[in-house]
Each structure stands twice: as C-alpha cells, then as structure tokens.
Amino acid sequence: MSTFLGIPGLRKTQPAHDPNILPGTAPIPDEPLRWGQDFPHAAREALKNEQMRRNLGHATATIRAKRAQVVGEAPDWEDLRDTGSQLKINTLAALPALLEQFETNFTARGGTVHWARDAQEANEIVTALIKATGETEVVKVKSMATQEIGLNEYLAEHDIAAYETDLAELIVQLGEDMPSHILVPAIHRNRAEIKDIFLRRMEHTPEGMTDAPRELAMAAREHLRKKFLAAKVAISGANFAAADTGTLTVVESEGNGRMCLTLPETLITVMGIEKIIPSFTDLEVFMQLLPRSSTGERMNPYTSLWTGVTPGDGPQNVHIVLVDAGRTKALADDVGRAALKCIRCSACLNVCPVYERVGGHAYGSVYPGPIGAILTPQLTGSTGHSDPNNSLPFASSLCGACFDACPVKIDIPSLLVHLRARVVDEDKAAHRPTGWGAAMSAASYVMADSKRFALAEKGTGALRALAGKKGYVAKLPFPANGWTQSRDLPAPPKETFRQWWDRTHPQDSDPATQNNGDNNE
C-alpha cells in the first residue's frame, strides 16, 4: 500500500480488541498525519472516555494557571510576541537563503547536512546513517519531526530499535500509543495508568512499585540510564537552528536530551525546515517566549546548544536532516504559511476548549489542537471529498483563545476560516454537491435581499407549529438534529423585529414590509 507521503504500508494497525491495549490508546497508524475517522466521529468516541477528560482537564488547567502567572510577570510580553512574530515572518520570507546560510555554517563546523523532500527520504537517510555505524539500538530525545515522519516504526522495520528517553514519550512508546499533546505527549494518562504501562511493558520494574510520581520517575531513570550508557547513536529534534552560526538548540525539562546530545558518538538531528531563525541572537526573544508559553516557566531547566563538532568532546559524527514534507507547499500559500511560524509551544492546545474535551487523538495527527487543525491539512494536502483531514479546520468554535495565547501571534481563527474556504472551494471546483453547499447557497440568496428575507421569516410558522404550546422544539429533524441533541430551540416569536418596528414606528414604515403580521395562528 502506498500512502500520501510515499511510505509503503509500514506500520501495522493493531487489532481492535487486544486485551493488552489500555483504554484511550491510539493504535500506531499507517500515516502519522492522517489516521482514524473524521474529527466529529473521533471526537464522539473520545468524549466517552471520562477518565481521559478528567486527566486532560486537570493538566491543562494547571498549565494554564502557571502560564498566566509567568506571562503576567513579563511587562514587555506583547512586545516580545510582536518581535517573535516578525522574526518568524522574516524567516519565512527568506527561507531558502537562510537554509543555505545554515548549511554553509553547519558544514564549516564539521557537521553534515542532508535534505529530505518527504518522510520517506528522511527515514531512508537516517536509516542509512545508522546502518553505517553498525549499531542496532539508538536513543532518542523527543522530536515532533520524527513523530511526523514515523521514524521509529520505519527503523523497527529495518531492525533498529529506537528508545525514547523523554519520560512522557517513553510512556507513549511503551504503551504502543500515539502522542496526544505536543509538549506532554502522555497528557491523557494519569499515574495509575502509567504505573500499569510500566509494569506491563518495562523490563525490571522495582518490586512493589506504587504510582507515586517519584517511584515512577526512578523506575524510568533506571531503565533509561542503561540505554544512555550503551548507546553509540542518538537522534534528536531541534527547537531552533540559527542560520548565521549554524547552531542547533534543544530545549527540555528532564536532562535526558542532554544525555543524548553528549554521550553517543553519532548524533543525527531531524528538523523541519521552518525551524530556522536568522540569527543566534534571535534566541534571546524565543528563549523568553517558549518556556513561558509551553511549561509556564520563566526558563526551562535544560537548554543545549551545539554547533557542528568539537574535537574530542561530545559526538564526533554530527548530522542534520532538513525535512520539507509539505512545508514548501504551505509556504506557497500567502495566508496558510503563517502556520509555519509555530514554535511548537503547545499554548494553543492548553487554552483550547475543544482540545480540552476531546484530547489529542481525535485530531488524527501527531499535531493536535488548534495548531494541528491548521498545520496538518496543509502538510498533507487534501485527498478529496472524504479526506478526514478536511474536517480539521471545522474542529473549532472560533472562540479565539488560541490566537490570544500564541507567542508568535498566529491568527489561528482566520487561518481556520481560510482553510474552511479551501475545502469548500475544492468541492465546488470538483463539482461535488454537498448538503451544506445547497443550504448556504439558499441562505445566501435569501439574505442578499431584505424582501426575500422578510418572506422567509414568515416561513418560520412551521417551526412554531412544531414547538406547539410548550414554546420550544426539543427534537428537530435531520440534519438539524445535532442541535436538539443537547439543547432545545425556542419557537420563533409571533412578531419579528421588522414587524414590531412597522407597528411602533409607522411614520418610518415601508409599504414593502408592512402588514407582514402573522395571522395564521
């Protein structure tokens, strides 16, 4: 089977009723950016998982409060956001030149740069680099880019075991699960579930281990330490790459990333091409924006920076794979490209009321939440009418909380509308009639003219009849039945505003809309 990224069917979907699968687990899919059902259906399933909803609600509320506090402490927060946004806009406007500048500088310092057009190419490059070392085990520090390309599964197919070292990522990996949050991939799990996963899947868990956070962390530490000390090859992501110095940056909380970045002999970094920033000094801005927005901290505990190879210190064999995988396609869209400003802080997820209720798996992509809803469809492109990713731009009430939280000021609501229009226009171009299309055309016809509108208002008598004496409708026919699933609809009034106006302001009335009083009761 060939998929959208050109990856042959690599990953096997697990059987649905495997007793070893915990509730709330998303089986490893074929396509990391397009799995499962469309959003409304996936959300319906997710909403049934009350445990997950509690875990999520609790976790996001905690992060939100922390974030609000540290953002409140920064008097120049809005200026920082403006600067971060402008830096990213400048970056995207000059991306090809900046990438070349980065390549020159990274190479000059002893690193090797590889270019990958798509996930397949990226996976092949990484696999070849590992094979060349003769190793069969690698350690990894959390990286969205490798999640996006499905690297772990590809490596497994080629007899290479990749061990995640970020605690949350480890929980997801051991659970044979998919991440549900950008920053806290196991946010859908609580302590009891984590203990359960460790006991089932981790070798040598301590006897009598409880679900106390410290005990769980100690067990993971024991497990990981062996991996760190044995690993000759590490794979990392990168938060930023400075073009003017060729410097890469990883920002993290646990220090496991630093172990990966310093202990092994070979270090392979996989990074999306949009992670470039023009100058090393720009880090000043992003290092203030990122930790506050993501973990609600003034500064993250570990920031690692490396520029090529330092002889005799750290990895001597240093590579970077620059991944496109749909990014230049997004860049070509004047409006949509703003999604590439994203620094993956996850602030938009933590404030999103939709995400908070359905969790990350419902988005069917390793990029969930508001950013996922605008990024995923752009990276994958549409495969047509029934593409589940076409439902993502509609997975929002457009409440705007994400835009307010975004440290680089991505106007997510406007991008959602833009991408909705793209879905609608595609259907139109392909002459695919839809129910919504018909309804919207009819509404447009009626609402473009006040006489037609006034006439349509009179037609609401049917609704009033449906409401009867009780004054409201508790059950509407399809397709409006979604409304009456949880809420009633009031009966339309006997007199519209227009009619009231004519009655009470006769000197001002217009014969065209007069005497519209509804007398058919």
Considering only residues 160-179, where is the footprint of ligand SF4 by CB under 6 A? Answer: none
Residue of 251, 342, 379, 423 that binds ligand SF4 (CB under 6 A): 342
Q: 432 is in the binding site of which of another protein, ligand SF4, none (Cβ under 5 to 8 A by kind)?
A: none
User: Could you give the string, one character per residue 224-263, with x where binding to another protein holds by CB under 8 A and - elsewhere?
Assistant: ----------------------------------------
Q: In terms of CB distance, is 10 or 395 closer to ligand SF4?
A: 395
Q: How distant, in Å, are the alpha carbons of 109, 180, 187, 258, 384 from that of 364?
A: 40, 9, 16, 31, 17
Residue type at 441 in one-letter notation: S
Is residue 344 close enough to count as binding ligand SF4 by CB under 6 A?
A: yes
User: Could you give the string, one character per residue 454-493, with x where binding to ligand SF4 holds by CB under 6 A and - elsewhere?
Assistant: ----------------------------------------
Is residue 474 close enough to count as binding another protein by CB under 8 A?
A: yes
Q: What count of other Cβ atoms lies within 10 Å of the Cβ of residue 501?
A: 15
Residue of 253, 316, 414, 516 that binds another protein (CB under 8 A): 414
Restricting to residues 395-414, which ones interact with ligand SF4 according to CB under 6 A?
405-408, 410
Longest alpha-carbon distance in the chain: 93
Residue of 194, 260, 347, 423 that binds ligand SF4 (CB under 6 A): 347
Q: 233 is in the binding site of which of ligand SF4, another protein, none (Cβ under 5 to 8 A by kind)?
A: none
With a CB cutoff of 8 Å and minimum separation 6, the contacts of 349 are 60, 181, 182, 183, 355, 360, 368, 369, 370, 371
Tell me the closest approach of the beta carbon of residue 58 to another protein, in angstroms. Answer: 14
Number of residues counted as binding another protein (CB under 8 A): 74
Q: For tokens 């060939």, what's the residue? A: 2
Residue of 74, 113, 299, 399 that binds another protein (CB under 8 A): 399
Q: How distant, in Å, are the alpha carbons of 221, 339, 452, 502, 506 from that of 512?
A: 79, 49, 11, 11, 13
For residue 137, list its beta bridge partners.
Answer: 161
Q: 322 is in the binding site of which of another protein, ligand SF4, none (Cβ under 5 to 8 A by kind)?
A: none
Q: 453 is in the binding site of which of another protein, ligand SF4, none (Cβ under 5 to 8 A by kind)?
A: another protein
Residue of 170, 371, 416, 491 that binds ligand SF4 (CB under 6 A): 371
Residue of 39, 102, 163, 198 that binds another protein (CB under 8 A): 39
How is 185-231 classified by DSSP, letter by letter?
Answer: TTTT--HHHHHHHHHHHSTTPPTT--S-HHHHHHHHHHHHHHHHHH-
Q: 266 is in the binding site of which of ligand SF4, another protein, none (Cβ under 5 to 8 A by kind)?
A: none
Q: 400 is in the binding site of which of ligand SF4, another protein, none (Cβ under 5 to 8 A by kind)?
A: another protein
Restricting to residues 63-92, which ones interact with another protein according to CB under 8 A?
none
Tell me the closest approach of the beta carbon of residue 512 to another protein, in angstroms. Answer: 7
Is residue 348 close enough to count as binding ligand SF4 by CB under 6 A?
A: yes
Tokens found for residue 131: 């094979």
Is residue 491 close enough to count as binding another protein by CB under 8 A?
A: yes
User: What is the rounded distance in angstroms from the CA atom of residue 235 to the CA atom of residue 263?
Assistant: 12
- Mutual angle of helices 369-380 and 412-429, in 10-degree steps: 40
Is residue 407 close enough to count as binding another protein by CB under 8 A?
A: no
Task: Read off φ and ψ for residue 67, nearest 5 degrees.
Answer: -60, -45
Q: What count of other Cβ atoms lies within 10 Å of the Cβ of residue 112?
A: 16
Relative to beta strand 240-242, strand 247-252 is: antiparallel
Q: Are 67 and 272 in contact (CB under 8 A)?
A: no
Residues found near ligand SF4 in the complex (CB under 6 A)? 293, 342-348, 371, 405-408, 410
